[in-house]
Amino acid sequence: MNHPSSAIPARIPHIASVNLMRGLVIVLMALDHVRWYFLDADFSPTDLSRTDSALFLTRWATHLCAPTFVFLAGTSAFLSAAHSTDRHQLAARLFTRGLWLVTLELTIVRFAWFFNLDYSQMDLQVIWALGWSMVVLAGLVYMPLWSIAVLGIGMIAAHNLLDGIRLEDFEMADGSLGWQGWLLSVLHIPRFPVVYPLIPWIGVMAAGYAFGPLMLTTSKTRKQLALAAGAVLIAAFVILRACNAYGDPSSWSTQETALFTLFSFLNTTKYPPSLLFLLVTLGAMFILLSVFERRHGLVEDFFITFGRVPLFFYVLHLYVIHGLVIVLGYAIKGDIDSFMTIPVFFPPWWGFSLPIVYLIWVAVTALLYPVCRWFAAVKSRHRGRWWTYYV
């Protein structure tokens, strides 16, 4: 199959389900970030020895965000250029947008997380992975579409074969990493400052790009394809997870209660995302895409607004959340300096219960809705301008 193809209509239809899905996950991502900044718990929500049901499910639901965001970025890349046969133009746009995202991660996004200029504190996260995945995709678009699909799926399916490799094996005598170790960290094994290694995120974006042509079918066909894909991925997850043999470095085990045994079954590895993590999250994404292929009401339109400007919302919500922390920290104890960093360094007295976290999340989302609606209208009025591709 050629791509982008002249057989595709010159005017690409607006696919509301994609924007709705992106809007839902970006709002869920805000919940995860509000939780990180405001929750009073000093342990991982997925630590089954300490967590509770509400906290675990809050964190687990937000696992949907990054895989969906990266996959649909690939799909959107195909759709954005589907009316053209000029691969050079598509590659150039992906390359420049990718570098822009990496630059954004290192500057504006990094400052939003830390509120300081001490670059000894640094986390390379999802925007970093998105950016470099786009840079790689800029090269992949010259390949046949089927080979992009094979590469993407193969990277997702096979990368857990690398789980036996240890960074410690690449340490120098003084404890630092050699260049091979740093390359391995950037590609697969998280180590400060790399939180999001690039494998398998590059594969996720490539698979999303290869999925693009299927989104240009009729709504009924899209619904059937998405439902079938979701069912296959969820079934594959259940079978592989039950075997406890391959697909995740951590096995599940029987817990004290049936509910927590289920949590153990669902508790897969995100950093880097294991095959099983991606099967269950992308499976859920496909099923939701199928559900979203229907008439939309006010609730759906609410999320579509965010889905039309996801990067704008992402950057803005980080500043709002961290800014609110500063305001409350000052109001409670007159303390600002302690919060000019990320939450792991916040003072021990800081934090609120999970219900308060949810209230703050709702307030932040409601506050940003009119701003995002305004900016979505601005983008719509200037559709086709070069700058709209970068925001």
Note the pLDDT of residue 10.
40
User: Are the C-beta atoms of residues 138 and 94 closer than 8 Å to each other?
Assistant: yes
Question: Does the pLDDT at position 390 exceed 80?
Answer: no
- Classify residue 194 as left (phi > 0), alpha (psi -120 to 50) or beta: beta
- Cα 133 from Cα 204, distance rounded (Å): 9
Asked whether the beta carbons of 34 and 357 are under 8 A apart, the reply is yes
Q: What is the pLDDT of residue 14?
A: 62
| Helix segments in the chain, DSSP class H | 16-38, 53-62, 65-80, 87-104, 110-114, 126-140, 145-158, 179-187, 201-211, 219-243, 258-266, 275-291, 298-308, 310-333, 354-381
Q: Tell me: the pLDDT tens digits for 226-244? A: 999 999 999 999 999 999 9
Q: Tokens 């029987």 belong to which residue?
A: 254
**Whether residue 56 has pLDDT greater than 60:** yes
What is the pLDDT at residue 7? 37
Is there a contact between 208 and 247 (Cβ–Cβ < 8 Å)?
no
**Tally of residues, the chain:** 391
Q: pLDDT tens digits, residue range 43-54?
A: 999 999 999 999
Residues 243-301 have pLDDT tens digits of: 999 999 999 999 999 999 999 999 999 999 999 999 999 999 999 999 999 877 888 99
The yes-or-no verdict on residue 203 having pLDDT over 80 is yes
Q: Transcribe 222-280 into DSSP letters.
A: HHHHHHHHHHHHHHHHHHHHHHTSSS-SS-----SSHHHHHHHHH---TTTTPHHHHHH
- Tell me, what's the pLDDT at 174? 77
Identify the pLDDT of residue 84.
66
Give the pLDDT mean for 181-188.
Answer: 92
pLDDT band for position 6 (cuts 50, 70, 90): very low
Query: In this structure, what token pair is assigned to residue 198?
Result: 């690039």
- Distance in angstroms (rounded) separating the CA atoms of residues 217 and 225: 10
By mean pLDDT, which of 168-177, 181-190, 288-297 is the weakest?
168-177
- In this predicted structure, the answer to whether residue 210 has a pLDDT above a threshold of 70 is yes
Average pLDDT over residues 360-389: 90
- 289 versus 16: the higher-pLDDT residue is 289
Closest-CA residue to 106 (of 94, 116, 119): 119
As a whole number of angstroms, the distance between CA 30 and CA 58 comes to 12
